[in-house]
Amino acid sequence: MNDDSNRWRAKALPSVGYCAIAVLVVLLGAGPSQAASIPAWLDDAITKWNKENPAVQIRFVEIHDSYVWYTVPSTPEIGHQELRESIYGIVQGNGYERMEAEELVTTGKPPTPTDKYKDKKCWQRGFTLDLDTGSQRVLTTLVCAAEDNWFAGFRILQ
């Protein structure tokens, strides 16, 4: 082989590699989204809660960091402990059981309007649901204190 063909190969091979990577990125991006999601029963249970509790509506905010986030106004009608128990009650009312006897105090990054994705104090609780297949589904909740609102995050692990 002559020097010209070797130079051509040296220039062409990286370009072919970059093109292959670009095609792979496009193909992977065109597939189904891997965004967080919640089961329809949870959305229905939140709708039912909102009808029964017009002063304390649970409103969808966004999906971030594998959690589906909702906001709940901080009102005199319901304190933070009652709110946490209400959120947990929604989950338990649909067949999930608590994984541990105590909830944990931790930090989370709810999508607050002023301090978006900054650590906030949160209460975490895990729940399991036995499936007909013999496996379990795990649902994690975070209830976070932030400004004039509370944030509730739900995450399902298969």
Domain edges within the chain: 1-31, 40-157
pLDDT at 31: 34
pLDDT at 55: 84
Q: What is the SS3 assignment for 58?
A: coil
Q: What is the SS3 assignment for 38?
A: coil
Secondary element (H or E) of residue 92: helix 80-92
| CA-based end-to-end distance of the chain | 56
Choose among 123, 144, 127, 134: nearest CA to 92. Answer: 127
pLDDT at 93: 94
Secondary element (H or E) of residue 29: helix 3-29
Which residues of the chain fall short of a pLDDT of 50? 8, 12-34
CB 63 within 8 A of CB 36: yes
Residue 16, CA distances (Å) to 1, 20, 23, 39, 48 in order:
21, 6, 11, 43, 56
pLDDT at 35: 54
Report how far residue 115's alpha carbon sits from residue 113's, in angstroms, rounded to the nearest whole number. Answer: 6
pLDDT at 157: 84
CB 98 within 8 A of CB 92: yes
pLDDT at 94: 92
DSSP assignment letter at 49 = H
Report how far residue 92's alpha carbon sits from residue 154's, in angstroms, rounded to the nearest whole number. Answer: 13
DSSP assignment letter at 114 = S
Report how far residue 92's alpha carbon sits from residue 113's, in angstroms, rounded to the nearest whole number. Answer: 30
